[in-house]
Structure 1
Amino acid sequence: MGTQEVSLESTIGGVTAEGKLHTLSVWFILALRLMMGLAFLTAGLGKLLGGGFSAAGYLANAPAANGSPLADLFISMSQTGWFMDFVNVAVPWGQLLIGLGLIVGCLTRLAAFWGAFMMLMFYFGNWDVSHGYINGDFAYLLVFLSVAAFGAGRIIGLDAYIEQYDVGGETLIERYPWMRYILG
């Protein structure tokens, strides 16, 4: 195991944050990726194998019952037939594919983005601020964003190999720099 520390620094809005990663950080980043991958894989499989998944009842009732500030939006979604057809496919298959992508570390940033988006929707759908604005859905959203920010797919993942794939004498990521936003 290496002992070299890596320094991080970022400036946003004139405020600079800096720190050093511990040598064990890579293992915790990998653990976060795998944890979220397994959670989403099992959630997607449960919906697909359970048969007859429908989000309509949840969208029409849960957000309004728990006082979500977006309750009207969720109700409108539940009353739009074509949108419900899309959601009833996108949620279980999305969870399954996000989970698989994270577990094998393939298209990790893309998977983490969509996982974070789903968690944002769940956060507003499961609205409960009786113990504050931070709950499990919000925490998972931040875990997904961390997985993306750290390029967790490069840690024992397929993204490390995909990025280095030779395309006409250049690595894939050199030839197509925009792919940094979906790989890593």
Structure 2
Amino acid sequence: MSTGTDGGVNVFESNLAGIEVRGRAHSLSAWFVLALRLMMGYAFLYSGWTKILGGSFDAQGYLLNATVANGSPLVGLFTWMGQTGWFVEIVNVAVPWGELLIGLGLLVGAFTRLAAFFGALMMLLFYFGNWSVAHGVINGDFAYMLVFLAVAAFGAGRILGLDAVIENYEVDGEPLLEKYPALEYVLG
């Protein structure tokens, strides 16, 4: 994806599998991208924080029962996860702390693409765990997954976020992102 300006208007374009898309963003778009980043950051930070403070988060019941009750196509995977003790222990730490760290990263705009990737991954798992296609295959979990992906795609951490500072931090007289271009996949 490349961005630029066309007569003072923000332009973004991408070519994927031979299909090119091009769009012009309104000047208020940055504020909406920032709002999406902050909204998801707050929601995840709050969710993780309350699980950690509650001290009794246990994913096993969810893993064993949710998908069986709702007919998820991944019922076998979720059942295996719920029946595997070491995996449940990892999930019991990864979910609350993951939500907290994803939320914190999004709120301050640091390592935004990394945080958004893991947020989208969690929402994909919640999508299959909370399976409901009564009103179609698009539900809130799927929509939140797309919000995370949009936050990552638009480099939302550069909008009033620490990623803009981190990317320009100089190492040996060269901005960090120029010296280590692979960091673009976790920053932004």
TM-score class normalised by the smaller sequence: over 0.9
Q: Deviations over 1:83-130 (max 9, x none)?
A: 111000000000000000000000000000000000000000000000
Alignment of 1:103-182 (within 5 A): 103-182=107-186
Matched letter for residue 127 of structure 2 = Y
Gaps of 5+ in 1: none
Kept in 2, the 8 Å contact 1:63–1:126? The answer is yes
Matched letter for residue 173 of structure 1 = L
1:64 partnered with 2:76? no
Gaps of 5+ in 2: 1-6
Aligned to 2:100: 96
Question: Secondary structure of the equivalent of 1:10?
Answer: strand
Aligned to 1:18: 22
Q: Deviations over 1:6-50 (max 9, x none)?
A: 111112122211110000000000000000000000110111111
Aligned to 1:46: 50
1:35 partnered with 2:77? no
Aligned pairs, number: 182
Q: Distance in 2 between matches of 1:36 and 1:93?
A: 15
Structure 1 runs of 4+ with >3 Å offset: none
Matched letter for residue 161 of structure 2 = G
Identical amino acids, percent of aligned pairs? 66
Q: Distance in 2 between matches of 1:138 and 1:144?
A: 10
TM-score of the superposition, structure 2-length normalised? Answer: 0.95
Aligned to 1:5: 9
Q: Distance in 1 between matches of 2:36 and 2:139?
A: 17
Kept in 2, the 8 Å contact 1:115–1:144? The answer is yes
Question: Secondary structure of the equivalent of 1:137?
Answer: helix
Task: Give the superposed CA RMSD.
Answer: 0.9
Kept in 2, the 8 Å contact 1:4–1:23? The answer is no
The offset of 1:4, in angstroms, is: 2.6
Aligned to 2:3: none
